C-alpha cells in the first residue's frame, strides 16, 4: 500500500471490496489491481474499432443528450412513456414519508453527485456554480448525517465549488477519497484521517493523456479537456454535431497508446479512466465501511445522482438491499435508482431541505 493511502479499514476488508484478478499478463503500474486479458482485449477493440465503431460512438453521443428518451414503440406517446417510467421510479418528494418510515431506527448516510444534482448542467464546466441556498441546505444536512460528495471532478475543483470542510469527498469517480478536515467531523466513527487513492500510480499516465488530448483536440471548436487527477474528460456539449466523428477519432488516436485506460461516456462528455475495479459504487461501499457500517443492517444510505457513472452506486445499493438511489432527470432513463427527482432545484428546495430539516428524527437515528 502506498504511503499516501491512509485507510481506516483493514487489509482483509480492502481485499473483499477490491477484487484482485492475477490472470492478466498485461503490465500495469506497480501496486495496481490487475485486469483480465479478456477485458484488456475488449478495451483495445473499443478504442481501435473501425468505421462501424465510430458510428456507434456518434449514435451514443446523440443519445447522451438530456432530452433523449428511452426507445419504446412509436405508438407510445412521450407523455405515456414518462408516466410509465414515473410509476417505476416515483418522485422521492411524493414518497418522502414512506422513505423516512423505511429509515426509522437506522443511520442515514447521504451521498451526492455534484454536476446535475447540486448544480445545474452548464455549457462551461468551470461555471457549474453551486447556489448559496444549495450550500446552506447541504451544510444543514451534514449536521444531521454523514454526507459525502461523489463526483467525476477532482476533489480540489469540486471543493472550490462546495466550500464545506465537514463533508466527505470522493473525486475522480471515487478514486480519490478524503474525509472531513480536522476538527470538522461531527461523526465519531472515523477515528483517523481518511485518505484513499486506489489509482495513485496512474497519475503520470493521466497527466500525459491530458497533455496529448489538449493538443489533439485543439482543432475542434468547443471541445474542452479537463484533468481530474485520476481521470480525464473531453466535453463535447459545445461541439458542432458535424464534428463529433472527428472528435471521436482524435480521442481514440490518443488512447490507442494507453490500453490500460478505458473510454466511457456520460452526459455529453467522454470519460478516460484507469481500467481498475473501482467506481462510484465501490467508493460508496468503501465509505460505508470506513464509517463502521460495512456489515450492519442499521444503516440507510441514500445516493442522489444524474449520470451514467452514478448507476454503479445505484446498483450497489440495490444489490446491498439497504437504502436507495434517486435519479435526477426530467426524462425516462434506464436506471437502477428506486426514485426520481426532476432537477437540482427539486433536490435542494425539496428533498434535501426536508430531510435536512429533520434534526429531531436525525438525533434518534444517529448511532455514532
Is 89-198+278-366 a CATH 3.40.630.30 domain?
Answer: no
The dotted CATH code for 1-75+199-277 is 3.30.70.1020
CB atoms within 10 A of CB 166: 18
Tens of pLDDT along 331-351? 899 999 999 999 999 998 899
Q: What are the start and end residues of each CATH 3.30.70.1020 domain in the chain?
A: 1-75+199-277
Q: pLDDT confidence of 64, banded at 50, 70, 90?
A: low
- pTM value surpassing 0.75: yes
Give the tens place of pLDDT for each residue, 13-42: 333 333 333 333 333 444 444 455 555 545
How far, CA to CA in Å, does 39 sit from each of 197, 233, 326? Answer: 22, 21, 30
Please tell me the predicted confidence (pLDDT) of residue 319: 95
Q: Give the whole-angstrom CA distance, residue 25 versus residue 348.
A: 48
Average of per-residue pLDDT values in the chain: 83
- In this prediction, residue 339 carries a pLDDT of 98
Assess whether pLDDT exceeds 70 at residue 321.
yes
CA distances from 91 to 87, 97, 101, 114 (A): 9, 12, 16, 20
Which residues are CB-neighbours of 244 under 8 A, at least 6 positions away?
A: 58, 61, 236
Decide the pairing of beta strands 324-328 and 299-305. parallel
Write out the residue limits of the CATH 3.40.50.1000 domain(s) in the chain.
89-198+278-366
- On the question of pLDDT at 9 being above 50, the answer is no
Amino acid at each position: 500500500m502506498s504511503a499516501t493511502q491512509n485507510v481506516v479499514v483493514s487489509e482483509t476488508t480492502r481485499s473483499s471490496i477490491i477484487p484482485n484478478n492475477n490472470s492478466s499478463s498485461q503490465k500495469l503500474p506497480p501496486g495496481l489491481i490487475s485486469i483480465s486479458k479478456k477485458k484488456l482485449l475488449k478495451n483495445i477493440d473499443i478504442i481501435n474499432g473501425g468505421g462501424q465503431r465510430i458510428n456507434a460512438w456518434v449514435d451514443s453521443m446523440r443519445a447522451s443528450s438530456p432530452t433523449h428518451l428511452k426507445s419504446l414503440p412509436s405508438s407510445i406517446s412521450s407523455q405515456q412513456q414518462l408516466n410509465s417510467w414515473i410509476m417505476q421510479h416515483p418522485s422521492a418528494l411524493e414518497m418522502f414519508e414512506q422513505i423516512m418510515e423505511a429509515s426509522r431506527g437506522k443511520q442515514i448516510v447521504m451521498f451526492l453527485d455534484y454536476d446535475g444534482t447540486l448544480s445545474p448542467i452548464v455549457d462551461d464546466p468551470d461555471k457549474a456554480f453551486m447556489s448559496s441556498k444549495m450550500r446552506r441546505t447541504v451544510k444543514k444536512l451534514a449536521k444531521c448525517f454523514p454526507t459525502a460528495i461523489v463526483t467525476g471532478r477532482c476533489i480540489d475543483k469540486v471543493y472550490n465549488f462546495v466550500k464545506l470542510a465537514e463533508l466527505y469527498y470522493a473525486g475522480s469517480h471515487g478514486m480519490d477519497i478524503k474525509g472531513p478536515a480536522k476538527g470538522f467531523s461531527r461523526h465519531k466513527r472515523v477515528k483517523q484521517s481518511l485518505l484513499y487513492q486506489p489509482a495513485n500510480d496512474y497519475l503520470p499516465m493521466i497527466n500525459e493523456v491530458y497533455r496529448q488530448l489538449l493538443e489533439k483536440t485543439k482543432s475542434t471548436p468547443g471541445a474542452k479537456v479537463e484533468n481530474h487527477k485520476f481521470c480525464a474528460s473531453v466535453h463535447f456539449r459545445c461541439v458542432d454535431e458535424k464534428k463529433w466523428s472527428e472528435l471521436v477519432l482524435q480521442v481514440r488516436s490518443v488512447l490507442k497508446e494507453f490500453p490500460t485506460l478505458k473510454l466511457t461516456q456520460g452526459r455529453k462528455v467522454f470519460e478516460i479512466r484507469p481500467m481498475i475495479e473501482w467506481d462510484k459504487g465501490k467508493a460508496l461501499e468503501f465509505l460505508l465501511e470506513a464509517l463502521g457500517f460495512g456489515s450492519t443492517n442499521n444503516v440507510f444510505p441514500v445516493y442522489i445522482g444524474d449520470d451514467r457513472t452514478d448507476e454503479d452506486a445505484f446498483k450497489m445499493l440495490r444489490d446491498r438491499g439497504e437504502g436507495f438511489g434517486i435519479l435526477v432527470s426530467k426524462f425516462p432513463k434506464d436506471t437502477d435508482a428506486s426514485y426520481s427527482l426532476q432537477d437540482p432545484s427539486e433536490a435542494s428546495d425539496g428533498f434535501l431541505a426536508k430531510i435536512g430539516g429533520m434534526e429531531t428524527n436525525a438525533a434518534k437515528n444517529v448511532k455514532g
